[in-house]
Amino acid sequence: MKEICVGIIGFGTVGRGLAETLRIQQERLEARIGATIRLKTVADIACKSLPEEFAGVTLTQNATDIFTDPEIDIVVELIGGIEPAKTFLLQAIENGKHVITANKALLSTHGKEIFEAAVAKNVEVGFEASVGGGIPVIKALKEGLVANRINSIKGIMNGTANYILSQMTEHGTPFAEVLKEAQELGFAEADPTYDVEGVDTAHKLAILMTIAYGLNVNIDHINIEGISSIEPVDIDIAREFGFAIKLLAISNNHGDNVEARVHPTMVPHSHMLATIGGAFNGIHFNGDTVTDVLLYGPGAGMMPTGSAVAADVADIARNILSDSVNRVPALSYQPERMTAPVITPMSELVCAYYFRFTVSSEPGVLAAIATILGKYNISVQSIVQKELGEDQPVYLVVRSHDAQESAVNAAMAEIRVLDACLAEPLKIRILGAND
Amino acid sequence: MKEICVGIIGFGTVGRGLAETLRIQQERLEARIGATIRLKTVADIACKSLPEEFAGVTLTQNATDIFTDPEIDIVVELIGGIEPAKTFLLQAIENGKHVITANKALLSTHGKEIFEAAVAKNVEVGFEASVGGGIPVIKALKEGLVANRINSIKGIMNGTANYILSQMTEHGTPFAEVLKEAQELGFAEADPTYDVEGVDTAHKLAILMTIAYGLNVNIDHINIEGISSIEPVDIDIAREFGFAIKLLAISNNHGDNVEARVHPTMVPHSHMLATIGGAFNGIHFNGDTVTDVLLYGPGAGMMPTGSAVAADVADIARNILSDSVNRVPALSYQPERMTAPVITPMSELVCAYYFRFTVSSEPGVLAAIATILGKYNISVQSIVQKELGEDQPVYLVVRSHDAQESAVNAAMAEIRVLDACLAEPLKIRILGAND
C-alpha cells in the first residue's frame, strides 16, 4: 500500500491530538483513502521523548529535519504564534512540502504571503482547524456551499468567551470570577486577552470572510470589541428583554462593501446561536441559494482539533495520490480572482442597541439622557432602572429602536461627560429577529 | 476557458432549482472552479419549453439524447422514484457519464448496483442532495469527519414531518388537520405516506449509515415508525415532562452491530435537535475524535436542493479538470472495504418510554396496567391521567425508566387485550439526556 508521510512541528496539545488521531484512525484512514498515512517525524524544542505508542516516530528538536526530509509529503505546523511558525511554513513550502496549519493568528496576519508562496510552488495549504475546531466549516464553505453568494456570516467562534458568558448566565457570577475559575480549570489561557477581547474571534472571521467572499481580509480589517465590560446585570436584563448575550463575529455582505465586526451581541432567544452554550462553537451562514445553514461543534480541544487537522491530511493525501494538487484553490477562489475588501465603516451600522448608563441617583438624570438620545434620533423602546443600594450609583438601562452607530457614538460622547454619568456607558448591539 | 457540460433529466422543482443555480452562480463558479459549467440539455417528458433565460439550452423529451451526447460530462437525474430513474442512471454510467442524483429512494434500494456500476466504469456518483437538502452533510461525513469512527447518527431529516409536529406543538392542532393545511400550502405531498410514516427519513438514514460506517445499508435494514398516531395531548404531556416530540432517525454504532431506526422520539428540551422547528433539518453526529457535531439547514426546497446538487457538479467538475475521478470513493470507503451490516434487533433496545393507554374510566384499570408493567420489569417514573369528558375514555400516560423493548412489547400485548383497553396503546421512545 502507498504511504504518505507526515511531519509535525510542535508537539503541544494539538500536535499530540493529531498524532493520536492518526494513530487511532490509521486503519479507518487506510480504508477510506486507500493509502497509509504515516507520522514519520515530530519536531519540538521542549519534548524530550515521545510516548511509547509512537515508537516508530522520529523526534527532533530541529524543524529543518522535517522540511529537508525527501520522504515527508506534508508538514503540519502546530506551534502557534507568528514566529517562528511563519518562517517554518515558508521554508516547508520552499522545500515543496504541502503544509497544514491551525494558526489563525498567522493566517489572518500573513496569510496572503503564505498562500501566494504555496501557489508559486504548487503545494497545498490546509487550515480546516484554524476556525471552528473540529467543525468542518472551511470545507463546507469552500466546497459544500460553493454555489452560493454568502450574504452573511455570524458565529460564536471562541469557546473560552462563550464558556465565560454561559457561566455568567447560568450562575450570575461576575466576569472576573468566572475567568479566574476558567483559568484554574484550564479552559482559559493565563493571558486570556485574545479570547475575551475578541481578537481570536476576529482572526477566525478574517479567514472565513476571505474564503466566503474571495477578498483578502486580514485582522486589521475587523472591528473588535470584547466581553470584559459585561456584567451579570446586563445578562439578567437581556434575558428579560428576550436575549442572550454572545460574543459574535458578524459580517453582512453588502456587495460593494462588507461588514467585519466582533462584539458582544444581544441574540434573540429564538435564534439558534442563542442556544449554543459552554465551550461550543456555532457558525451560521446565509447563502443566496441555500438560505440558512448552521454548523455546530467543539471549537477547540486536543482531539476535535486533531480531527480537523487529520481531515486536511486526508484531503491532501488524496490529492497527492490522484495527482490533483490544488484541485480546490486554498482560498476557494482562483488566486487571480481574489480582490481587496472594502470594509463597511462601523459608523454606518444601523441596529437596535442596549445601553447601560451608570448614573448618580438624582432628579433630572433620566431627562438629560433622554434629551440627548432624542437629539440624535435614537428612539427608546424600553427603560429599566436598577438600584444598586443606598448611596450607590443607579443603572439606567435603555433599549433603543434601530439607530445609526455614528449617532449613537455622538450621543454617548455627550452622555459620558454629564456630571451625573459616573462611568463609561456600555453599549451592546442587538441582533434583529430576521438577522 | 474550459467547459464542463451538464445534462439534467427531470425539470421539476429540483431540476429547475439546479438550472437556476447554475445560471445565477455561473460567474462565481467560474471564479472558484476555473472553468465554465454549461447546462447544455434538459430532458423532460412534460415540459413544452424552457423559460427564456435558458435560451441556449436544448430541451428534449428523450433522456437518451443526454447519455449519448459526447459533449456532456455530467448527467443529473432529478425525476425521483425507482423507474425509469434507475435505468437512466445505469445507462448514463454505461455511457461513461458522471452522474448526480438526489434520489434517496433509489439509492437506499438499488444503491449497491448503481455504485458498483460506477466503479466499473470509473465515473463519479454525486448524491449530496439526497440527504439534508442544502446542508453539505454528505461531504462533511465523507471528508470533514474522515478521521472519525462515527459512534452515532441522530437527525431530523424530513421537513414535512417536522413542520407538522412543529405546527401541532405551537398551535395544538390535531395531526390530520395540520397535514391537510400543509398539503394546501404545498409543504406536504398529496400522498404524504413517505414523509409522515418515516419512509423518507429511513431512506436518508440508510445512505448516511452506509457512508458513516462503510456498510451496505439499505431501506430494508431500517426499523420504521411514523408520526400519524401522535396527538396534541402527547405533545402537551411531553412538554410537561421536558421533551419535544420529533421524528428522528437514530443509529448507534455498537461495533458488531448497528442500530437503524426511525420513529417519533421524545427529545429533551436541552438537546439541540429539540430546538429545530418548521421544515428545517438537523443532523447530529458523535465521532470518537470530534465529539459532537450538528449540521442545520433547509432539508428541501427548490434552491437549497439546487445548492447541494450544484456542489456535486462543482466537485465532479474539479475532478474532471484535475483528472482525479474517484479521488474520494463515492461511499467514503474504498469499494473493497464495504461490508454487510448487522442490524441490532429492535427487541434489544433499552431506553425510557412514554406510553399512552386509552382506557375506560372504571376502577382497577390502573392497577391492571401497573401489574402488567411490573411483571415485565418496566418501572414507572410518572403517571398522568387525562379525562376526555363524561362517558369518554380516559388517557393514562405512563413515563417509564429504562426498559427493554422486548419486555415493552410483551407488556403492550397483554395490556392491549384488557377489556378496559379501548385502543392500541401508543409508545414513544425517550432520548436520554446524554444521547
In a domain, A435, yes or no: no
Regarding whether A262 and A206 lie in a shared domain, the answer is: yes
pLDDT at A16: 97
**Integer Cα distance of B229 and B217 in angstroms:** 27
Last residue of a domain, one of B318, B336, B354: B336
Q: At what angle do helices A199-213 and A104-120 cross, to 10 degrees?
A: 30
From A86, A154, A204, A246, the catalytic residue: A204
Q: Does A39 touch chain B (CB under 8 A)?
A: no
Residue B372's pLDDT is 98
Q: Is the pLDDT of residue A70 over 90?
A: yes
pLDDT in tens, B386-427: 988 888 999 999 999 999 999 999 999 999 999 999 999 999
Query: What torsion, rounded to 10 degrees, do the Cα atoms A141, A145, A148, A154 define?
Result: -50
CB B79 within 8 A of CB B10: yes
Mean pLDDT (chain B, rounded)? 96
H/E stretch holding B247 reads: strand B243-252
* H or E stretch covering B184: helix B175-184
Nearest Cα of chain B lies from the Cα of A170 at a distance, in angstroms, of: 14
Report the pLDDT value the prediction gives residue B343, as an integer from 0 to 100: 98
Q: How far is B362 from chain A (nearest CA, A)?
A: 44
pLDDT at A58: 98
Q: Determine whether the interchain pair B144/A324 forms a contact, defined as Cβ–Cβ distance below 8 Å.
A: no
Q: Is the pLDDT of residue A362 over 90?
A: no
At residue A189, the pLDDT reads 84
Shared domain check, A164 and A264: yes
A242 and A286 part of one domain? yes
* C-alpha grid cell, residue B262: 426511525
pLDDT of residue A310: 98
Three-state DSSP class for residue B330: coil
Residues A44 and A15 sit within 8 Å (Cβ to Cβ): yes
User: Has residue B435 been placed in a domain?
Assistant: no
Q: Cα–Cα–Cα angle for B56, B62, B67, nearest 5°?
A: 80
Same domain, B332 and B269: no
Share in percent of chain B as helix, strand, coil (round to 5): 40, 25, 35
For residue B4, list chain A residues with Cβ-Cβ distance below 8 A. none
Q: Is A124 found in the same domain as A154?
A: no
Report the 3 state secondary structure along chain A.
CCEEEEEEECCCHHHHHHHHHHHHCHHHHHHHHCCEEEEEEEECCCCCCCCHHHCCCEEECCCHHHHCCCCEEEEEECCCCCCCHHHHHHHHHHCCCEEEECCHHHHHHHHHHHHHHHHHCCCCEECHHHCCCCCCHHHHHHHHCCCCCEEEEEEECCHHHHHHHHHHHHHCCCHHHHHHHHHHCCCCCCCCHHHHCCHHHHHHHHHHHHHHHCECCCHHHCEECCCCCCCHHHHHHHHHHCEEEEEEEEEEECCCCECCEEEEEEEECCCHHHHCCCCEEEEEEEECCCEEEEEEEECCCHHHHHHHHHHHHHHHHHHHHCCCCCCCCCCCCCHHHCECCCECCHHHCEEEEEEEEEECCCCCHHHHHHHHHHHCCCCEEEEEEEECCCCCCEEEEEEECCEEHHHHHHHHHHHHCCCCECCCCEEEEECCCCC
C-alpha span between B307 and B294 (Å, rounded)? 19
Q: What is the pLDDT of residues A140-164, one digit of tens each?
A: 999 999 999 999 999 999 999 999 9
Q: Determine the residue among A21, A39, A150, A289 to mutate to test chain B binding: the one whose Cβ has the most chain B Cβ atoms within 10 Å.
A: A289
Query: Does A434 score more than 80 pLDDT?
Result: no
Rounded to an integer, the average pLDDT of B223-237 is 97
A326: region left, alpha or beta (phi > 0 left; psi from -120 to 50 alpha) = left
| Residue (of A294, A424, A405, A299) closest to A344 by Cα position | A405
- Cβ-based contacts of A34 with chain B (< 8 Å): 329, 334
- My answer on whether A307 and A358 are in the same domain is no
Structural domain contains residue A139: no
> Would you call A319 an interface residue with chain B, using a CB distance cutoff of 8 Å?
yes
Tens of pLDDT along A90-149?
999 999 999 999 999 999 999 999 999 999 999 999 999 999 999 999 999 999 999 999
Residue A114 lies in a domain: yes
B58: domain CATH number? 3.40.50.720
Q: Do A28 and B296 touch (CB under 8 A)?
A: no
The residue among A43, A51, A46, A45 whose CA lies nearest residue A77 is A43
- pLDDT score for B390: 85
Query: Is residue A153 located within the same domain as residue A294?
Result: yes
The band of B310, judged by pLDDT with boundaries at 50, 70 and 90, is: very high
Span B338-361, average pLDDT = 96
What is d(CA B102, CA B114) in angstroms, rounded to the nearest whole number? 13
Q: Distance (Å) from the C-alpha of residue A33 to the closest C-alpha of chain B?
A: 7
Closest-CA residue of A relative to B32 is A333
Render pLDDT for A285-297 as a digit per residue (tens, 0 to 9): 999 999 999 999 9
User: Which residues 6+ apart lie within 8 Å of A404 measured at CB?
Assistant: A347, A348, A349, A350, A377
- Please give the positions of B annotated as active site: 204
Please give the helix or strand (H or E) that residue B366 lies within, else none: helix B365-375
The residue among B298, B328, B359 that closes a domain is B298
CATH for B365:
3.30.70.260
Whether B113 maps to a domain, the answer reads yes
Q: d(Cα B47, Cα B60) in Å, to the nearest integer?
A: 9
How far off is chain B from A7, nearest CA to CA, in Å? 17
B30 vs B166: CA distance, rounded Å: 40
> Hey, are the CB atoms on B144 and A328 less than 8 Å from each other?
no
What is the percent of chain B with per-residue pLDDT over 90, rounded to a whole number?
94
In B, minimum Cα distance to A22 occurs at B147
Flag whether A156 is in a domain. yes
Q: A9 with A95: CB under 8 angstroms? A: no
Cβ within 8 Å of residue B304, ≥6 positions away: A289, A290, A291, B17, B133, B134, B297, B298
Helices (runs of H) and strands (runs of E) counted in chain B: 14, 17
Spatial CA neighbour of A141 closest among B18, B2, B32: B32
What is the reported pLDDT for A433?
73
The reported pLDDT for the residue numbered B134 is 97
Predicted pLDDT of residue B120? 97
Residue B23 is given by DSSP the state H
Binding residues of B for L-homoserine: 189
Provide the terminal-to-terminal Cα distance of chain B, rounded to the nearest Å. 51
Per-residue model confidence as pLDDT tens digits over B124-163: 999 999 999 999 999 999 999 999 999 999 999 999 999 9
Domain range for A362: 346-430
Q: How far is A34 from chain B (nearest CA, A)?
A: 6
**Test mutation, B307, B319, B325, B339, chain A, max A CBs within 10 A:** B307
Q: Is the N-terminal amide bond of A329 cis, ω within 30° of 0? A: no
A380-421 pLDDT tens trace:
999 999 988 888 999 999 999 999 999 999 999 999 999 999
Number of domains in chain B: 3
C-beta atoms surrounding A382 within 10 Å: 11
Put simply, whether A277 touches B (Cβ < 8 Å) is no
Number of residues assigned to chain A: 435
Instruction: Report the CATH number that the domain containing residue B189 is assigned in CATH.
Output: 3.30.360.10
Is the pLDDT at B316 greater than 80? The verdict is: yes
Asked if A355 and A426 touch (Cβ cutoff 8 Å), the reply is yes
What span, in angstroms and rounded, lies between the C-alpha atoms of A428 and A245?
Answer: 9
Domain assignment of residue B74, yes or no: yes
A275 in reach of chain B (CB within 8 A):
yes
Regarding whether B409 and B330 lie in a shared domain, the answer is no
Please report the pLDDT score of residue B1 as a whole number.
Answer: 87
- Spell out the residues 6+ positions from residue A101 whose beta carbon is closer than 8 angstroms to its own: A76, A77, A78, A85, A89, A107, A125, A126, A127, A130
Distance separating alpha carbons of residues B402 and B348, to the nearest angstrom: 12
Rounded CA separation A101/A111 (Å): 11
Residues of B in contact with A145 (CB under 8 A): 136, 307, 311
Residues 6+ apart with CB under 8 A from A213: A150, A253, A258, A341
pLDDT at B389: 86
Residues B172 and B153 in one domain: yes
pLDDT at B37: 98
Q: Is A104 annotated as a binding residue?
A: yes
Write out residues 87-116 of B within 8 Å (CB-CB) of A. none
For the CA atoms of B356, B358, B363, B369, the dihedral, rounded to the nearest 10 degrees, stands at -50
Residue B244 parent element (H or E): strand B243-252
Query: Are B29 and A311 inside 8 Å of each other by CB?
Result: no
* Mean of the per-residue pLDDT values of chain A: 96
Note whether A47 and A109 are same-domain residues.
yes
Nearest CA in chain A to B35: A334
B111 and B246 part of one domain? no
User: Does residue A341 fall inside a structural domain?
Assistant: no
- The mean pLDDT of A11-26, rounded to a whole number, is 97
Alpha-carbon span A298 to A215, nearest angstrom: 27
Residues B277 and B317 in one domain: no
- Which pairing describes strands B261-268 and B350-359: parallel, antiparallel, or unpaired? unpaired
Q: What is the largest CA-CA distance in chain A?
A: 83
Spatial separation of the C-alpha atoms in residues B148 and A25, rounded to whole Å:
7
Question: What's the pLDDT band for B189 if we cut at 50, 70, 90?
Answer: confident
B232 shares contact with chain A (CB less than 8 Å): no
